[in-house]
Structure 1
Amino acid sequence: MKSPSKLLFVFLLMSSTCLVASSSNWLTTWMGLEINMLGYIPLIFMKENTSESEAAVKYLIPQSVGSTIFISSAIISGYNDNLQILMVIAMCLKLGVAPFHFWFPPVMASLQLMPAFILLTWQKIAPILAISSFNSFLVKLIMPIAAISALWGGIGGINQTDIRSLLTYSSIGHTGWMLASINSNYTILLAYLLTYMMINISIYTFLSKEDSKSYKQLFSSKESGKIFILAISILSLGGLPPLVGFIMKLLVLVFTEAKMIIIFGLVIGALMSLFYYLSLTFSSLLSFSKMHLTKSLMTSKQSILFSLSQILPLTMILFFF
């Protein structure tokens, strides 16, 4: 993002998300989602190669289809309330949750690191906020999709060796948990979004300095403190107790009003995700030297972001409760 014009598109991303959050009608929500999509597409082009052009097209088509379905169902729902279910399908398509995730892994595989993490984090906020404004009947219809997404996020990540593919399927699983948190306290939803974003930013600060795709290359670094922070962040993303990722999942389970079968699907998906994250990090955690670990943690910049990712969401929960 060397071009100054990129700042304009970043501003569009932020302002469009605020527009969706503050909208009082479906037209304004649709406008915010469209501006959000148009603001993100130019950010895809970091090196201006063929793969980025392909990713832009693969991102544009499902997003456009989702926006068209959304505004069409919003107009028709004035005459027939039964068609509001199309609004649910449209938002799930824009989010990339299972079973509407067909575009998400190919786009993530073709992106550079910065736009990939924007897609993993910030681009989820606007559709999630739009879904949270649905009535209770539509929110209940989303709960089976939340369970399917959590399960598919766990299944798809098994036997993956590319760290970006792992984060992609983890994102699909976490989006299912975000959808489940909509059916609970609104503060839980905001805290879960903040937790997910902070942990991903902590992982991004490490990946941005390491030129490696395989997790075996990633965990072969000689800086044990940074590897420890990366491993703990990944385990927190997987929901290992007593890390903050587990606490947020526990709060969702406590406050959600979903049925037991939905909760069972969420838990099974989280356990499968935790399994491949444990297999990814366990051998690396056992190989650390305690002396080098302590020294590196005191001087590493990544430790600051790691601490923030673990503390800020808990502080937010204590503030509201």
Structure 2
Amino acid sequence: MKSPHKLLFTFLMLMSTILVLSSSNWLTTWMGLEINMLGFVPLMYHTSTTDESETAVKYLVPQSVGSTIFITSALISNHFSNTQILMPIAMCLKLGAAPLHFWFPAVMSGLSLTPAFLLLTWQKIAPIFAISSMNPHLTTKILPIAGISALWGGIGGINQTDIRLLLSYSSIAHTGWMLASVTASSPVLVMYLLTYVMINISLFISLLQSSVKTHKQIFPSSQKPYESFLLAITILSLGGLPPLTGFFMKLLVLMLSEAKTIIVVSLILGATLSLYYYLSLTFSTLLSLHKMPISQLKMVTSTSISLLISQIMPLSLLFFFF
């Protein structure tokens, strides 16, 4: 094995997240968060360049500050109950939720695609479930952060050319929806997170195959038309276009969340802005379908129908449980 240390640090990252999910006190949660951070930092190095070292420091500093605020507020809360509000705010800093997102785009822009995928998906699990395990009155107080994140993620993604920055602002917007789903019943957060991870897996597989850096390289001319079409469907699902999976998950959050009207409006407006730049990204690809040969068009039709069914049906079945 060329890099046995990566297997070790990947194991640390996975086990520390499980430690956070199974912990029964804040000290164990803090330990899991720290091990998770230390396990992920070595995985950020792919080419061992100076840029990656700078990116690792940009990630390490806010994560350490967030962990310090979390454990300090947990200890002080025994004497000053008002400091408990700092605990979910510290987790929002670790998540990269707006307005505490200052480090997130800078880190994403300096990462390779594989660690960027881990940062967008796996590294969100421990902080978001730490928030969901807190007292309900604390999670309700951070709902304004959810609205701000959704809005800022939609606004920041407009006119972005780097695909990593585009995905980072999309992640900030989705973080807002995840924070809003914390106030809903417990399965909603799990389903939203799983859906977000699955869509990102299919998206990053396509990006890794073509070594994409800018948005103009997402749909290269050498790519087969039906592959471009399926990638466009995945991107639009991430943006929440009905009737794809991302739309149903956001609808589920709006139906079951305890967010106030102004927070709901912020979430919807942010999702609309995010969908705008995703549609502008895929518009030319979707319009070029009429240029495809009949043989490829048949392939697109059958494949796209199966993709749509696989995206919609599992979530449609889940509605029977609510």
State TM-score, norm by structure 1: 0.94
> Per-residue deviation at 1:219?
1.4
Give the percent of matched residue pairs that are identical in Structure 1 and Structure 2.
65
> Per-residue deviation at 1:137?
1.1
Paired residues for 1:242-281 under 5 Å: 242-281=243-282
> Per-residue deviation at 1:220?
2.6
- 5+ unaligned residues in a row in structure 1: which ranges? none
Between the aligned partners of 1:316 and 1:63, the Cα distance in structure 2 is: 38
Match of 2:100 in 1: 100
Q: 1:6 to 1:23 in 2, by over 3 A?
A: same
Q: Is the 8 A contact 1:178 1:189 kept in 2?
A: yes
| 2:133 matches 1:129 | no
Letter in 1 for 2:27: L
Match of 1:141 in 2: 141
State TM-score, norm by structure 2: 0.93
Q: 1:197 to 1:89 in 2, by over 3 A?
A: same
> Per-residue deviation at 1:312?
8.0
Q: 1:308 to 1:197 in 2, by over 3 A?
A: farther
| 2:13 matches 1:13 | yes
- 5+ unaligned residues in a row in structure 2: which ranges? none
What do the CA deviations read for 1:223-259 (whole angstroms, capped 9, x no partner)? 1121111100110010000001000000000000110
Moved over 3 A (4+): 293-300, 306-309, 318-321
> Per-residue deviation at 1:307?
6.9
Between the aligned partners of 1:155 and 1:18, the Cα distance in structure 2 is: 34
Match of 1:67 in 2: 67
| 2:299 matches 1:295 | yes
Letter in 2 for 1:186: S
Q: 1:234 to 1:73 in 2, by over 3 A?
A: same
Determine helix, strand or coil for the equivalent of 1:208.
Answer: helix
> Per-residue deviation at 1:294?
3.8
> Per-residue deviation at 1:308?
9.5
Across the two proteins, how many residue pairs are aligned to each other?
318
Determine helix, strand or coil for the equivalent of 2:166.
Answer: helix
Q: Is the 8 A contact 2:13 2:36 kept in 1?
A: yes
> Per-residue deviation at 1:315?
7.1
Paired residues for 1:211-222 under 5 Å: 211-221=211-221, 222=223
What do the CA deviations read for 1:24-62 (whole angstroms, capped 9, x no partner)? 110011011011101100100111111110110000000
Match of 1:154 in 2: 154
Q: 1:2 to 1:241 in 2, by over 3 A?
A: farther
What do the CA deviations read for 1:195-225 (whole angstroms, capped 9, x no partner)? 1000000000000011232222221333112
